[in-house]
Amino acid sequence: MLPKQSATFPSKHISRKPGKKLSPKRRHKILQNLIKDALKSHRADYVEIRIEDHERTKISLRGKNVDELATSRSVGGCVRALVSGGWGFVSFNDIANLKDHVALAVSQAKLVSRVCGDNLLAPVEPITDTVVPALVVDPRSISLASKRALLEEYNDIMLSYSPKIQTTAVRYRDTYSKKYFANSECTYIEQEHCDVGASFTAIAREGDNVQQMLVSAGGIDGYQCIKGHHDEVRECARRAVENLSAAPVDAGQYTVVLDPGLAGVFVHEAFGHLSESDFIYENSMLREIMVLGKQFGSPILNIADGAAVPGHRGSYKYDDEGVRSSVTPLIRDGVLVGRLHSRGTAAKMSERPTGNARAINYRFQPIVRMTNTYIENGETSFDEMISDIDKGIYAIDAYGGETTMEMFTFSAMEAFMIRKGKVAERVRNVVLTGNVFETLMHIDAIGNDRKMNDGGVGGCGKGQQFPLPVSDGSPHIRIKNVVVGGT
């Protein structure tokens, strides 16, 4: 049975008599009935319906110019149907014709099942719930002009720091989403979610030498998360200017200490994607590598992922299959113990769903995605970590990088030499390369100062779905025998 809850939804997508205005409660009831009737109308093994309402603001500044200043709203939905192991999927904007969309998805599923009928769903308990975020400051309550004014304050601070600041880039995004999920197993969930993020880039130039630094801010509890960052953006400009005088690093093999920002990106990009079970299931070589129970690091290494970790950009209560979020241990005491699942991959691999099925919006089917991925705290302080390094590198934040299977390449945004146990001179062009599994085995110290990165306007990309909000984090970590390329 569908619950009687108060919510709002655009009335233009629901049939009514001309000139008659519907109350929010009435619109909500009509939407519930549309979903309920559509779920009764099918002949399929399984059907799910997602209807979404997204309100967005985008602002982009480049130098002294405004590149983008916009608000938008998108409303639509999708139906996914499973018949004899075949999936059918339909996305749409005309919500009033929900029965027709269900019929089309079922028809597609029947056709697919004739050539590819091996899909299953792991069982989960039916859920009825309503989720509303606890916001400190709702971004919808702040005018577009006020948002622009704050970003221009930050931009002016960077531009005025030094004549060597050639240009800047400031980007802001906020999204308030309402999702309605129901399936033929009697699950019905209404879930609202807020995501706010901003990034600030300072680009310094001296002749042919160009250096840039970036800081970001963001969160899911309201607009206030991007306020009060005046000192951070000033520091961003300072670091960009100071990096102009840094000498290129000498290529070689070093003991490297990663700050929480770069270590978080490393665990997300180099290891997290390898833990997504659709990737594992579809790749025979990876299945031979990612064997549960295999030693992947020293006993001090613990890695986890989970949307049930509260308060971060990758946090939510239910995924896009209506599965309750969880925290999934991936590596425990250096041993591979888990991986991330949708209901489909869990069924294929005889494991349990982890609540990691996510779609960027109603135009896409949910696939296995990370949420909040992090290395857990160890016991070593930063001073202890560098104290016995005679010659090494301290690498801070990620400027860019790529991964191909188990091989990775990351560029540090900022770096310093470590000499005789102390942080020494600034260096640049630090590029870290290696095999992720060998690198995990070479982590020999983990800090006690974990930080989560929630900032920015981007997110994770996979399967043409970008950007999906995620967070990553880590304490400082020390890695032996890292190949560092310089120029």
Q: Are 455 and 374 in the same domain?
A: yes
Q: Are 162 and 18 in the same domain?
A: yes
Q: Are 449 and 479 in the same domain?
A: yes
Q: How far apart are CA 94 and CA 77, in angstroms?
A: 8
Q: Using the structure block, give the residue that is written with the tokens 């949910």.
A: 366
Q: How far apart are CA 208 and CA 222, in angstroms?
A: 41
**Would you say residue 4 lies in a domain?**
no
Last residue of a domain, one of 222, 243, 264: 243
Given this model, what pLDDT does residue 404 score? 86
Q: Which parts of 36-127 are beta strand (E)?
A: 46-62, 65-83, 86-92
**Would you say residue 2 lies in a domain?**
no
Give the range of the structural domain holding residue 38, as residue numbers without chain letter. 11-243
Share of the chain above pLDDT 70, in %: 95
Confidence of residue 260 (pLDDT cuts 50, 70, 90): very high
pLDDT, tens digit, for every residue of 174-224?
Answer: 999 999 999 999 999 999 999 999 999 999 999 999 999 999 999 999 999
CA dihedral of residues 328, 221, 364, 90 (deg, nearest 10)? 110
pLDDT for residue 466 is more than 70: yes
**Would you say residue 3 lies in a domain?**
no
Given this model, what pLDDT does residue 7 score? 37
pLDDT, tens digit, for every residue of 329-387?
Answer: 999 999 999 999 999 999 999 999 999 999 999 999 999 999 999 999 999 999 999 99
**Would you say residue 302 lies in a domain?**
yes
Q: How far apart are CA 75 and CA 53, in angstroms?
A: 5
Given this model, what pLDDT does residue 1 score? 35
pLDDT, tens digit, for every residue of 385-432?
Answer: 999 999 999 999 998 778 888 899 999 999 999 999 999 999 999 999
Q: Are 334 and 205 in the same domain?
A: no
Bridge partner residues of 335 (DSSP): 295, 332
Number of domains, the chain: 2
Confidence of residue 455 (pLDDT cuts 50, 70, 90): confident
Nearest to 290 by CA among 219, 345, 226: 345
- In order of 49, 54, 126, the CA distances from 187 in angstroms are 10, 22, 5
Last residue of a domain, one of 243, 277, 299: 243
HEC readout, 233-274: HHHHHHHHHHHCCCEECCCEEEEEEECHHHHHHHHHHHHHHH
Confidence of residue 129 (pLDDT cuts 50, 70, 90): very high
**Would you say residue 216 lies in a domain?**
yes
CATH code for the domain in which residue 190 is found: 3.30.2290.10
Q: Are 220 and 290 in the same domain?
A: no
Q: Are 60 and 78 in the same domain?
A: yes
Q: Are 147 and 284 in the same domain?
A: no
Sequence-distant (6+) residues with CB within 8 A of 23 are none
